[in-house]
Structure 1
């Protein structure tokens, strides 16, 4: 067990921080294996500069915790007042521990205020028309509105398990009375005192004690049985609620966002009795683009994209689902949004032979749209992560790792003709940085990225290896085509002469070209080395040139040599 060092033995934090520590929005430390402060960001340094007596408490917690210690809330005194910091520890193996903090002061203050106002809350719910309740840690009622509910007096309900009130098919299902997360307008069936069923809509919030353990729940219920007049209509509502829960579960638990949206679209069409469902995403410039199309192959011509555009625009501009009739087709559309920003739409259609869309249809598609908005945000986040992992942050070209992975894939396919790799080095680039600064240098690199991507075909791969070195893979390309592209690049660099360091040191390109032929067994590394050597040959001719690498000489394998023996 590592001993907790006393406060006086703690060295000052190192001001040189890693990107994770420096970029964290709250206080962050990196501790050594013996729990000494190795790095601290500015927010963490403020805590150290205050009253540091909190730190031994945190270090003692770490020494007595398991590999995954969880969270720890600690009061801290700083010059601007008292704070409560919630700490999370991330073990770094032999490298020590990452300690990340979150300011939970306001949260604690609000919790204290809510505790003090509990009496006021009970007074208010006593005069409410709803049935208010609270359950304890054992799940039984500890508070019920004084007039009781469902024909029971409060004395008949307090101390009783709410599950005893549930009708048979609800007895073993999770109820709002033991909610572990907020529940809003959840519908359930309970038994009245006379044994008749009552349809109840419940909203609930879970309660937790100071140690974070579940301590019950509180909420309100409203008897809506009178509004449910026909059993067939009630069954329809309940089935749709279950379907919406299934859609929500699908969207939240499928890792592949596209697959989740496709399942949600199919289920939405089935639930609404629609012939098809389309899910749209809002682009950066605003217009909706089709993301998922279920049933579109059999869609009538009257719901062509140009006919739907006004309806989608109308849906994007209003909170409520929009109804439309296009020829003999009934259309229902609702916008999707995330954090109050519209990010798409969902649309269903069916023929006019079917019943018109009703309020239940609109409520269901509205509920689906709420969840699709979150799914769209998840999709966009996945796309952003994928782009960040594949692209160079400055030029938008493929980064080194992704470029060579894609090249490996291309070489692994069965090609029928030659391809070419252009290895491009920027001439006199260092002079730009030296004379005009890195901002001008970044502008040059971005311009080269645009030059490389101009006119590329599907399957071509422009990439940046790092610094001022670029590559361009040209699929299905022979020597003549590669020469044409190289000449285009050399002509294009001349249009960037205004970015040069000086007329004496103009920007230029030195290009090495290596033509790959299928069947030679040449690896990506061998091809790259040939193109690199050709680039240096071009640079040796005085820069601003291109040169072809000698053909690759295939080395026969042992099997091939055996086949040629007499």
Structure 2
């Protein structure tokens, strides 16, 4: 080599370069070599020893460790013997190249090891979409030879047939779930990552990927989700039973939960009294053509400890009984018209709901009894004084025009019944008056017992003539209905009636109206028993 041109060669070299004498001592270093030497000169010493020992004669390439700006590295020097016995060393940093080579070698081995030991599988499909490679462990119970040449779609479960599959993907995908039918016929959930294979012309020639079987984890996850969902739904019912003062609201929540939890088309909740079921709450109207089938079906439900199903005119019914203190007190029923059958989860859910609803039905009945006891007279079933006055006040507030009337009456010769026949016979008379008013009053009217043998009848939306006609009818029917219960023919039972006409918007209060009716009743008494009299008209002070 031309020794004269050597300095220019060193300075023009893009990597580290230097010359050494025959004893391995450095003579000249270019900028790259000086930069490395400034950081650490161990490489320079190692290279000098190697050159002094005659290394360049047997091995023209030498790699030495160096310190680079980004950390430890490797420089590979190519050596040339000079005419004066020295050595020219031209270096090239190969740190990245070696790292990549090492990573590639390591990744190939790692991939091979993982594929060989994995219980899951790697796969590849060809241009026709059929398996051309399956890893040694096989997949979903099949040996690799059982899968090679077959199309993945043969194993896809029907419910998932319309979903994109990793086996025919045209783009790279990660962690896509696919459900396949395993060799034993069971469903298997696989999570797959895949990349498409593209030919020289950019056309799809297959796909390659790896799958991991997560069936057990997915099933456990679904079971846990089902448990949590059940707890959530039942929590609605339990909290409503505990916190809601309106039992009817609890029952409405229960049927709503039944619909949502089972995916039903609708639901009905029934309360049982004796052997008869009566609807207590419903969500969505039931098809008319299945209503007639419900009563006999509920009779079967009451006899079965487990939920039962039935098919009626294309609808699928599912029902189970509700219990309270080991007695059947109702039933909950759901239905669907989509032709789908009920699953085991549906059976489990409807039973869990029924376990809670039994308490809610019992509570609703208890609340109804309390309400009845607080509002009704225990002997006649009519409104008691307090409730009647509250309802009457509400009616007066709402009526801004027109007329209505209050009939206030008591029994003639009632004392004789108690004195001669006893108070039991007197109670029979009072109950009979309750029955009489039940037949005489319209749904919009109000009937009450104010106490003793004093009764009131509010006749909604009538004028004076109409109210008098009702009073006359009451006189006739009371005399006929009560006569058999009289103490004696000489003292026949009957009523004396005071008629107080109310003018809407007059400002008269409920107690004032009742007092006017009472005055009219006493006026009728003075006329003789079995009469009626109009009360004085209301005048504002």
Q: What TM-score range do you get, normalising by the shorter chain?
A: 0.5 to 0.7
Partner of 1:358: 343
Taking the aligned partners of 1:349 and 1:463, their CA distance within structure 2 comes to 43
**Which position in structure 2 is the counterpart of 1:293?**
282
Whole-angstrom CA distance in 2 between matches of 1:469 and 1:382 = 28
Match of 1:533 in 2: 519
How is 1:445-460 mapped onto 2 (pairs within 5 angstroms)? Answer: 445-460=430-445
Q: CA offset at residue 460 of structure 1?
A: 0.7
Tell me whether 1:260 sits opposite 2:255 in the alignment: no
Conservation of the 8 A alpha-carbon contact between 2:234 and 2:353: no
Q: Structure 1 pair 477/376, CA: closer, same or farther in 2 (3 Å)?
A: same
Structure 1 position 470, deviation (Å): 0.8
* SS, match of residue 537 in structure 1: helix
Preserved contact between residue 427 and residue 507 of structure 1 (Cα < 8 Å): yes
Partner of residue 279 from structure 1, selected from 257, 269, 274: 269
Q: Quote the Cα distance in structure 2 between the aligned partners of 1:378 and 1:456.
A: 31
Per-residue deviation at 1:508? 1.8
Does residue 443 (structure 1) correspond to residue 443 (structure 2)? The answer is no
- The partner residue of 1:395 within 344, 368, 380 is 380
Unaligned runs of 5+ in 1: 1-225, 556-566
Deviation at 1:236?
Answer: 4.4
Q: Is the contact made by 1:316 and 1:342 (CA closer than 8 Å) also made in structure 2?
A: yes
Conserved? CA contact 2:331–2:354, under 8 Å: yes
Given the alignment of the two structures, is residue 235 of structure 1 paired with residue 221 of structure 2, yes or no? no
- Could you tell me how far apart the structure 1 residues matched to 2:217 and 2:529 are? 84
Structure 1: how far apart are the matches of 2:400 and 2:522? 28
* CA-CA distance at 1:258 after TM superposition: 1.1
TM-superposed CA distance for 1:320, in Å, is 1.2
Q: TM-score, normalised by structure 2?
A: 0.57
Tell whether the 8 Å contact from 1:391 to 1:398 is kept in structure 2 after alignment.
yes
How far apart, in 1, do the equivalents of 2:250 and 2:242 lie?
A: 8
Looking at structure 1, the residues matched to 478 and 443 of structure 2 have their Cα atoms a distance apart, in angstroms, of: 23
Aligned equivalents of 2:329, 2:293: Cα separation in 1:
20
8 A Cα contact 2:316 2:339, kept in partner = no
- What residue number does 1:331 align with? 317
What's the CA shift string for 1:413-469, capped at 9, x where partnerless? Answer: 034321000110111111111111111111111111211221311221111111111
The C-alpha deviation readout for 1:236-282, integer Å capped at 9, x for no partner, is 43234323541333333322211112122212211112122211112
Deviation of 1:498 after TM superposition, in Å, equals 2.3
For the 8 Å contact 2:259–2:334, the answer to whether it is kept is yes
Structure 1 match to 2:239 = 249
Partner of 2:29: none
1:184 corresponds to: none
Q: 1:343 aligns to what SS in structure 2? A: strand
Once the two structures are superposed, what CA deviation does each residue of 1:322-377 show, in whole Å capped at 9, x if it has no partner? 111223322111111212322211111223443x2122321221121121111011
Calculate the aligned-residue CA RMSD, in Å. Answer: 2.1
Secondary structure, aligned partner of 2:440: coil
State the secondary structure of the residue aligned to 1:392.
Answer: coil
Show the counterpart of 1:407. Answer: 392
Contact conserved, 1:244 with 1:364, CA < 8 A, in 2? no
Match of 1:157 in 2: none
1:408, distance to aligned residue in structure 2 (A): 0.1
Equivalent-residue separation in structure 2 for 1:307 and 1:352 (angstroms):
18
| Separation in 2, partners of 1:479, 1:313 | 52
* In 1, Cα distance between equivalents of 2:489 and 2:251: 56
Output the CA distance in 2 between the equivalents of 1:526 and 1:399: 18
Secondary structure of the residue that 1:412 maps to in structure 2? helix
Q: Is the partner of 2:498 in helix, strand or coil? A: strand
Are the counterparts in 2 of residues 278 and 348 from structure 1 also a CA contact under 8 Å? yes
Alignment-derived partner of residue 370 in structure 2: 385
- Any gaps of 5 or more consecutive residues in structure 2? 1-214
Counterpart in the other structure of 2:359: 374
Say if 1:428 and 1:506, in contact at 8 Å, map to a contact too. yes
Are the aligned partners of 1:243 and 1:271 in contact in 2 as well (CA < 8 Å)? no
Q: Which of 1 and 2 has greater Rg?
A: 2
Contact 2:234 2:356 in 1 (8 A): no
